[in-house]
Amino acid sequence: MKYFKNTAIQRLCLMFTVFPFWTFMAINAWAQLTAAEAKGNLNTIESAEEVLAGNGFFEDFNRGRADNWIDDESGVWSATDGVYRMTGTGVGALRASCYNAPFDNFTYQIDVRRTQGNPDASQGMIFRLSPTGNFYVFAITSSGYYGAFKFDSRNGYELIPWTPTSAVKQGLKAWNSLKVICSGPTIEFLVNGTSLKTIKDNSPYLSGMVGVFAVDEQMEAQGSKPIVDFDNIRLTVSR
């Protein structure tokens, strides 16, 4: 089947501020495709039967491969040590990668940890990313905050403002499990099995790709590059 080409993902442009943690202020044209691009510049993967088997997918990266993922071509992504790793450069950019297939209603779950970098920088999941550049984000920081956001091709909107929660395991190298349950306009957000909030979007995005992201930021005093690991990425299609 065909969906996106990674040149669209390269268009991600994030503006953010710190006070006292990373927040998304606006986002422009990530994966926004023109009609010509949609016709001529698509990426081919295995058949829907091979990739989805009718039920979704599971990735633990133990084979050292991420064949069905389309990254932002920043050169920071690799399947290594049994995880999907973002080894950054510390420039403060947002790095992202998506699984190359669209889904409608589903449960989507990832394990994520930041092992190096700014603990106030965010990481998490992207879901229902459409060819027009609409998508949702569910994010946490290693300092114990979570938030949920909605983006179109021009702007970002808060669904859940940055909020402190004891459900997030704090500190670098601490694994956290993020999950969303999407059913039509209703989305439930969970961290480490704790349901944090359920919302009903009045103008929902109902279909699209899922993925992961991390802000590539390090503390000024740190000499090491930011590293964020993702593992046990699972999507189950709702019937």
Each residue of 93-132: pLDDT tens digit? 889 999 999 999 999 999 999 999 999 999 999 999 988 8
How far apart CA 185 and CA 105 sit, in angstroms, is 10
d(CA 149, CA 125): 11
The predicted-structure confidence for 62-74, as pLDDT tens digits, reads as follows 999 998 999 888 8
Separation of alpha carbons 182 and 71, rounded Å: 23
Model confidence pLDDT, tens digit, residues 176-192? 999 999 999 999 999 99
Q: Is the dihedral of CA 122, 124, 127, 132 positive or negative?
A: positive
Among 4-13, 19-28, 103-112, 182-191, name the one with the lowest average pLDDT.
19-28
User: How far is it, in rounded angstroms, from Cα 153 to Cα 29?
Assistant: 4
**Which single residue is written with the structure tokens 């080894």?**
87
Mean pLDDT of 161-185: 97
Given a cut of 60, whether residue 36 has pLDDT beyond it is no
If we measure between CA atoms, which residue out of 129, 168, 120 comes closest to residue 150? Answer: 129
Angle at 206 between CA 216 and CA 183, to 5 degrees: 100
Distance CA 87, CA 108 (A): 24
Residue 198, Cα to own-chain centre: how many angstroms?
Answer: 19
Q: What is the pTM of this model?
A: 0.81
Whole-angstrom Cα distance, residue 193 to residue 182?
Answer: 16
> CA 67 from chain center: how many Å?
17
DSSP three-state, residue 36: helix
Highest mean pLDDT among 8-22, 37-51, 167-181: 167-181
Predicted pLDDT of residue 222: 61
What's 54's DSSP letter? T
pLDDT > 80? residue 196: yes
- Here the tokens at position 78 are 């690799």
Q: Residue 177: exposed, middle, or buried by beta-carbon count in 10 A (0-12, 13-18, 19+)?
A: middle
What value does the mean pLDDT of the chain take? 80
Question: Which of 4-18, 109-123, 197-211, 220-234 shows the lowest mean pLDDT across its residues?
Answer: 4-18
How confident is the model over 155-176, as a mean pLDDT?
95
| Cβ–Cβ under 8 Å, residues 183 and 201 | no
| Chain Cα centroid distance, residue 205 | 16
- How far apart are alpha carbons 202 and 95 in whole angstroms? 29
For range 13-38, the mean pLDDT? 31
pLDDT at 220: 62
Q: pLDDT-based confidence at 218, cuts 50/70/90?
A: confident
User: Which tokens hold the place of 214?
Assistant: 């991390």
Q: Does the pLDDT value for residue 61 go beyond 70? A: yes
The domains located in the chain, with CATH, are 6-237 (2.60.120.560)
- State the pLDDT at residue 54: 62
